[in-house]
């Protein structure tokens, strides 16, 4: 009996061990499910790129990132133009400091040169980007891109070029004003030394690059005269550096200015349409407010009429009831 009991105990034990070694039991199914899940996970990226058509065939869907990249370039150019505008304001401040001091500190002039170099660097970068976008127009037409995309790109390019020329025009005017004011300081210092010059003679000195044309015969026998001569030399050097900077930017400025001139009518039309749209929106807002106001008044009048009619009916009812009784 004990042997049969031991045999009976062995049978369930063997049966219990059997599913563990079988790939078809619950554990095997779980293991297979994990492997299937892992396979599905690995293919998730591929499946995301696919889409079934009506015939049950699988087709690949590719997203066009061309316009996304273009708008990123537009944003970068816009930020760079804003950076130039900010630097131009800093240049104006440095100009004021230099013009207000007889002998400005060297650090102030160094900061001014750094600002001018940064403006030139950013401007060249913007110009290259705008040129690349302009050249991509023909490529877009050859690639059969939609006319809507092409119009958007051309419009954005024209607006950016227009803004770029605006900020560079302001920079050029700032540089020109600084040159004229520096020239005026030189003329005043020459008068202090007893040397009177005309504008033509002063321009001749500046173009020659040699201030000694008018200062060689001045005797620096006093402190005032020596300070005046030092300032004349310092201002002259400032003007020479300034003219070099203006010449370096002239070609780029004229190139972009000519493009904007040819595209000016389109830009003006765009701005006009935008302004008209804004006016229409404001007008629509005002009309909507008026309509709401009139509707509110109409509702109040209607309620007043209903109340009056109700009161009259009540009065008539009372009169009729009294008469009949």
> Over the stretch 40-55, which tens digit does the pLDDT of each residue have?
444 444 444 444 444 4
Instruction: Over range 166-171, report the average pLDDT.
Output: 91
Report how far residue 182's alpha carbon sits from residue 180's, in angstroms, rounded to the nearest whole number: 5
At residue 189 the predicted structure's pLDDT band, cuts being 50, 70 and 90, is confident
Position 242 scores a pLDDT of 78
pTM comes to 0.56
Report how far residue 214's alpha carbon sits from residue 200's, in angstroms, rounded to the nearest whole number: 13
At residue 298 the predicted structure's pLDDT band, cuts being 50, 70 and 90, is confident
Which has the higher per-residue pLDDT, 285 or 32? 285
Position 42 scores a pLDDT of 47
The answer to whether residues 81 and 126 touch, using CB atoms and an 8 Å cutoff, is yes
Domains in the chain, ordered, with CATH?
A: 69-257 (1.20.58.70)
Per-residue pLDDT at 252 exceeds 80: no
Region class of 194: left (phi > 0), else alpha (psi between -120 and 50), else beta? left
Exposure string over 180-200, b if 16+ CB within 10 A, otherwise e = eebbebbbebbeebebebeee
């Amino acid at each position: 009996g004990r042997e049969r009991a031991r045999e009976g105990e062995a049978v369930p034990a063997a049966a219990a061990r059997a599913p563990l070694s079988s790939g078809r039991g619950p554990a095997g199914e779980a293991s297979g499910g994990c492997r299937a899940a892992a396979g599905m996970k690995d293919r998730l990226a591929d499946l995301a790129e696919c889409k079934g058509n009506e015939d049950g065939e699988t087709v690949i869907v590719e997203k066009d990132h061309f316009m996304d990249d273009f708008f990123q370039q537009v944003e970068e150019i816009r930020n760079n133009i804003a950076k130039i505008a900010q630097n131009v304001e800093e240049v104006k401040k440095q100009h004021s400091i230099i013009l207000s001091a007889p002998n400005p500190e060297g650090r102030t002039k160094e900061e001014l040169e750094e600002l001018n170099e940064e403006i030139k660097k950013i401007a060249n970068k913007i110009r290259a980007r705008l040129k690349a976008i302009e050249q991509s127009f023909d490529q877009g037409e050859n690639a059969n891109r939609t006319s809507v995309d092409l119009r958007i790109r051309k419009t954005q390019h024209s607006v950016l070029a227009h803004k770029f020329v605006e900020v560079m025009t302001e920079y050029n005017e700032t540089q020109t004003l600084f040159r004229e004011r520096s020239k005026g300081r030189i003329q005043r210092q020459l008068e202090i030394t007893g040397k009177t010059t005309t504008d033509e003679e002063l321009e001749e000195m500046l173009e020659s690059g040699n201030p000694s044309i008018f200062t060689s015969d001045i005797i620096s026998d006093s402190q005032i005269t020596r300070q005046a001569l030092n300032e004349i030399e310092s201002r002259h050097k400032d003007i020479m550096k300034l003219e070099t900077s203006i010449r370096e930017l002239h070609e780029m400025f004229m190139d972009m200015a000519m493009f904007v001139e040819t595209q000016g009518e389109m830009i003006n039309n765009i701005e006009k349409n935008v302004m008209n749209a804004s006016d229409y929106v404001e007008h629509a807002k005002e009309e909507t407010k008026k309509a709401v106001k009139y509707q509110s008044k109409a509702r109040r009048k209607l309620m007043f009429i209903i109340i009056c009619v109700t009161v009259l009916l009540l009065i008539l009812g009372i009169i009729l009831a009294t008469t009949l009784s």
